[in-house]
Structure 1
Amino acid sequence: MSTSVELLLSSLVGRERGCVVLATALPWAQRRALQESLRERERALPLVILTADQHVLDAAAILSRGLAALISAASSSADLREAIEHSRLELDRRLARARARARWASLTTREREVCQLLARGMIDKQVAAELGTTRSTVQLQRARAFAKMGVSSAVEMSRAIPVDGDGPKR
């Protein structure tokens, strides 16, 4: 990678908000390497590339790897603002998903089982029968899980469970 790309990557500490707007004549291979490096970070910043290059196939390959936007260098400032706003919204969604996964990971195995069954529409009594435990134990596990997940109802819980990984088995 070029020195400027390495300098950019080394300056990122992981707490930044916003996006990287790349307005440079970097070769596509280096742009892809930068994108991959950004994507590998836990809190990856979205990447917007300004280019006069019209290699549609390369652009499609980069977009499929999660590029926030690829806009022409001749685009208006409104197009650039729109791309940056889109990338901000995408970053917010990614951070929300990461927080949901972290909250889900904080639950015990039994709390996850209780939440999954509640998300499928079971009531406490049915969950207790399914898990071979008492209703009061399920209520305790449910209360702990709700507190950890920051929710107050089974409906909120079903929405808060991450779909990827070991989310609800619906």
Structure 2
Amino acid sequence: MTHTLQDDSPAVYLIDDDASLRESLEDLMHSVGLSVRSFASVQEFLDTEIGSEPACMVLDVRLPGQSGMDFLRRMDQSPRRMPVVLITGHGDIPMSVSAMKLGAVDFLTKPFRDQDLLDAIHEAIEKDRALRAEQSDADAVRALLAALTEGERAVMDLVVRGMLNKQIAAELCISEITVKVRRGRVMRKMGVRTLADLVRAAGRIQD
């Protein structure tokens, strides 16, 4: 069952092989305004086109085929990476520690309180919003970088490393005047006014 809201509304991707639990959790999430798409296995999820809205995944640990923990380890290869809340009926402390190390937002043992799950989901969705904003900023910086000439990019790379104009000139075998000219063009094209702003912009594509 899938409840669809407006395009930019948060979504939860629920993967659990227990049909009755899926239906119960769908009703719970829908009651607080969340769009829900549910799957009985990881493969079902992988075979489905995923939306671009802010989202998180509620993932059962024990599943037919690929387990929830195995999928969490391979999340970088999924069609749409997103924060994960793990749920299980057979959890223990070592498993929960492993899940958190793999990046899970929370690890809940069944039966869990509805509010605990909802709190974890909202935390995961906010984390996804933040990650998406960071990615958007990084994409914007890459677009600006693409407008730089090879010479301007070379100067920029050395500027953000803290090198002085004289040092950059020696490193690139160009005149100090040329460095100043290219540096000024870099600042204009990158839309920044200070060295600190330029360093922050460069950092967005290195994190």
Give 5+ residue unaligned stretches, structure 2: 1-16, 18-39
Distance 1:20 1:49, change over 3 A: same
Aligned to 2:187: 142
Distance 1:28 1:143, change over 3 A: same
Letter in 2 for 1:158: V
Instruction: Spell out, residue by residue over 1:71-93, the C-alpha distance to the aligned partner (whole angstroms, 9 max, x if none).
Output: 22333333223212221232233
Greater alpha carbon shift after TM alignment, 54-63 vs 23-32: 23-32
Aligned to 1:160: 201
Distance 1:112 1:59, change over 3 A: farther
Please report the TM-score for the alignment, with normalisation by the length of structure 2: 0.58
Task: Indicate the structure with greater strand content.
Answer: 2
Aligned to 1:21: 58
Instruction: Spell out, residue by residue over 1:8-38, the C-alpha distance to the aligned partner (whole angstroms, 9 max, x if none).
Output: 1222436242101125753796112322443
Please report the TM-score for the alignment, with normalisation by the length of structure 1: 0.68
Q: In 2, distance between residues paired with 1:14 and 1:20?
A: 13
| Aligned 1:24-63 pairs, distance under 5 A | 25-26=62-63, 30-41=67-78, 43-63=80-100
Task: Indicate the structure with greater helix content.
Answer: 1
Asked which structure has the greater CA Rg, the reply is 2
Greater alpha carbon shift after TM alignment, 40-49 vs 96-105: 96-105
Q: In 1, distance between residues paired with 2:167 and 2:187?
A: 10
Q: In 2, distance between residues paired with 1:59 and 1:138?
A: 50
Q: Answer yes or no: is 1:64 the counterpart of 2:91.
A: no
> Greater RCO between the two (CA within 8 Å, min separation 6)?
1
Aligned residues: 160
Superposed CA RMSD in Å reads 3.4
Q: Answer yes or no: is 1:7 the counterpart of 2:44.
A: yes
Letter in 2 for 1:136: V
Does structure 2 retain, via aligned residues, the 8 Å contact 1:14–1:41? Answer: no
TM superposition shift of 1:98: 3.1
Q: In 2, distance between residues paired with 1:46 and 1:90?
A: 7
Q: In 1, distance between residues paired with 2:64 and 2:99?
A: 13
Does structure 2 retain, via aligned residues, the 8 Å contact 1:50–1:70? Answer: yes
